[in-house]
């Protein structure tokens, strides 16, 4: 018996005014011409609710690059879903926010790239920080839950305290501080992004103290960099276990990055029933459960805790999606990870980032 | 911290009851509500005091023993407050 998904991640567009150096979108993106129309999304949202989802996460790219967000929020609420907008804030006017709140938006997650303007704009590749501050104030005027998300890395982890102060100043309900995960564009910028062990060690007590001080006011989530972990993260809570992601063109995937894995064919929600895709399609079955696992995962007592870690990371680090995730200390190919971490901590690497960033670019426009 | 009977329990911003299933939807997921859980939360409207909530429940569930019910309601709401789903105004 396959348990139903709990969340639908609707990646409604890959267009985005930001160019973040750690963007988790795939390097090969869907262009505007391939984006599904409103009606197709509405059907997917309602089918996902019927399948058992509780949450709808509207994301992208920048979801507000589409002009039909209020209709999608409405579709989520009509289907009984909890609706979360994950946004850079760019393109969020008061009028659009009010339309979405009116349609039943439950939660807004607004990204910041840093606590100070100059470097925030550097990491985001856009002059966006000042506008985000205005958007945050506007969100707070509405009865909608408000999370601030800041991706942290070598270039900004030392400003953790001022990031926490920013979340307090902007009256967020929750602050999510997420270390970069190395997928998509972040892999291209890894040498500039991977923090040192000293930076990481310094960050832990800062988070612990802030959690205590802000208890009952602001919840703080802290996502650790798994390159420094002993065991891998239970990526997406396990392949095909709780989350389904639909890309702008309708391809249904178990996670944001799965399109990097060669040999997998992702079904399209416009062509096949969503329930069949979730329960039976080969791509969702591929790494579900533990039958696919190699040793040492297969006989590991943690296999129901981390579900073998991340298949995309295994492919990116070990060139084999079936390999034990190299972030696991028991992985035969852990050495590949150790090497990257050692380089990041060598005295030579301990200089400010070189500035040679690879910026995320928008999907190309196909001319007809 | 022990909530006072005069305080008014309310769902926090971003938390609400599902209109379809006995679920409390929260930003991180959902909590399945059993027995009178849903009814308790319906009464936590930020208007009624904790004492009012307990009184109304006792009227509705006449067979329950009053002191036991009162303790269970408080424990239930405290657990939800720890999850960040309830606040006491």
DSSP string covering A83-144: EEEEE--TT--HHHHHHHHHHT--EEEEEES-SSHHHHHHHHTSS-HHHHHHHHHHHHTSSS
Which pLDDT score, from 0 to 100, does residue A55 have?
Answer: 97
Which pLDDT score, from 0 to 100, does residue A327 have?
Answer: 95
Per the CB < 8 Å rule, is A145 touching B16? no
Mapped onto helix, strand or coil, the DSSP state of residue A223 is strand
Residue B89 lies in a domain: no
Per the CB < 8 Å rule, is A54 touching B15? no
Residue B32 lies in a domain: yes
Residue B69 belongs to a domain with what CATH number? 1.10.10.1150
Interface of A with B in 101-120 (CB under 8 A): 106-107
Q: What is the pLDDT of residues A150-186, one digit of tens each?
A: 999 999 999 999 999 999 999 999 999 999 999 989 9
Residue B4 lies in a domain: no
Which pLDDT score, from 0 to 100, does residue B67 have?
Answer: 83
Residue B14 lies in a domain: yes
Calculate mean pLDDT across residues A73-93. 97
User: Where residue A223 falls among pLDDT bands split at 50, 70, 90?
Assistant: very high
- Specify the higher pLDDT residue, B84 or A243: A243
Is the Cβ of B19 closer than 8 Å to some Cβ of chain A? yes
Residue B30 lies in a domain: yes
Per the CB < 8 Å rule, is B14 touching A54? no
Spatial distance between the Cα atoms of A8 and A46, rounded to a whole number of angstroms: 10
Residue B36 lies in a domain: yes
Contacts of B87 in chain A (CB under 8 A): 216
Which pLDDT score, from 0 to 100, does residue A368 have?
Answer: 43
| Residue B11: closest C-alpha in chain A | A145
Which pLDDT score, from 0 to 100, does residue A366 have?
Answer: 60
The contacts of residue A1 (CB under 8 Å, 6+ apart) are: none
Query: What's chain A's average pLDDT?
Result: 94
Q: What's the domain count of chain B?
A: 1
Which of the residues A79, A141, A216 would you substitute to probe the B interface, choosing the one with the greatest number of B C-beta atoms within 10 Å?
A216
Give residue B41's domain range.
9-84
Which pLDDT score, from 0 to 100, does residue A354 have?
Answer: 55
Closest CA to A283 of A311, A264, A269: A264
Residues of chain A with pLDDT > 90, as a percent, come to 89
Which pLDDT score, from 0 to 100, does residue B63 have?
Answer: 83
Residue B49 scores a pLDDT above 80: yes
Residue A1 scores a pLDDT above 90: no
Residue B22 lies in a domain: yes
User: From the CA of A217, how many Å to the nearest CA of chain B?
Assistant: 9
Order of strands, sheet of B23-26, starting from the edge strand that comes earlier in the sequence: B16-17, B23-26, B29-32
Q: What is the pLDDT of residues A340-354, one digit of tens each?
A: 999 889 877 555 555
Q: Tell the burial category of A146 from Cβ atoms under 10 Å away from its Cβ (0-12, 13-18, 19+).
A: buried
Cα–Cα distances (Å) from A269 to A15, A95, A247, A287, A298, in that order, read 20, 32, 10, 20, 32
């Amino acid at each position: 018996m396959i348990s139903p998904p709990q969340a639908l991640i609707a990646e409604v567009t890959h267009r985005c005014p930001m160019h973040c150096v750690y963007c988790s979108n795939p390097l090969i993106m869907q262009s505007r011409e391939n984006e599904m129309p409103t009606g197709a999304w509405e059907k997917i949202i309602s089918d996902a609710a019927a399948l058992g989802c509780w949450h709808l996460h509207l994301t992208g790219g920048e979801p507000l690059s589409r002009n039909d967000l209020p209709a999608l929020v409405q579709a989520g609420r009509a289907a009984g879903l909890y609706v979360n907008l994950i946004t850079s804030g760019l393109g969020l006017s008061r009028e659009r926010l009010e339309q979405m709140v009116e349609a039943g938006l439950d939660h807004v997650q607004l990204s910041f790239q840093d606590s100070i303007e100059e470097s925030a704009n550097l990491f985001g590749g856009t002059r966006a920080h000042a506008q985000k501050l205005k958007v945050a104030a506007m969100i707070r005027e509405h009865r909608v839950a408000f999370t601030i998300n800041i991706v942290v890395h070598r270039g900004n982890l030392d400003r953790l305290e001022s990031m926490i102060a920013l979340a307090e100043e902007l009256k967020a309900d929750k602050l999510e501080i997420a270390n970069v995960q190395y997928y998509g564009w972040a892999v291209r910028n890894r040498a500039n992004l991977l923090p040192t062990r000293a930076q990481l060690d310094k960050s832990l007590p800062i988070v612990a103290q802030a959690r205590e001080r802000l208890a009952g006011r602001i919840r703080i989530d802290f996502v650790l960099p798994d390159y420094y972990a002993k065991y891998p993260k239970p990526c997406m809570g396990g392949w095909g276990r709780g989350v389904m992601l639909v890309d702008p063109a309708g391809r249904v995937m178990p996670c944001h990055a799965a399109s990097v894995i060669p040999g997998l064919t992702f079904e399209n929600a416009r062509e096949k029933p969503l329930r069949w895709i979730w329960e039976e399609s080969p791509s969702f079955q591929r790494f579900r459960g533990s039958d696919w696992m190699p040793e040492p995962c297969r006989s590991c007592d943690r296999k129901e805790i981390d579900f073998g870690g991340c298949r995309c990371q295994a492919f990116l680090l070990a060139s084999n999606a079936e390999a034990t995730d190299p972030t696991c200390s028991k992985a035969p190919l852990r050495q590949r990870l150790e090497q990257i971490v050692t380089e990041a901590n060598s005295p030579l690497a301990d200089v400010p980032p070189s500035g040679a960033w690879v910026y995320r670019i928008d999907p190309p426009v196909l001319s007809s | 911290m022990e909530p006072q009977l005069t305080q008014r329990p309310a769902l926090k911003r971003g938390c609400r009851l599902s209109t379809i299933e006995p679920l409390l939807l929260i930003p991180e997921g959902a909590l399945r509500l059993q027995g009178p859980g849903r009814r308790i939360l319906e009464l936590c409207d930020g208007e009624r005091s904790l004492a009012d909530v307990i009184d109304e429940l006792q009227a509705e569930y006449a067979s329950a023993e009053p002191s036991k019910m009162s303790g269970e309601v408080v424990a239930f709401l405290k657990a939800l407050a720890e999850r960040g789903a309830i606040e006491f105004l």
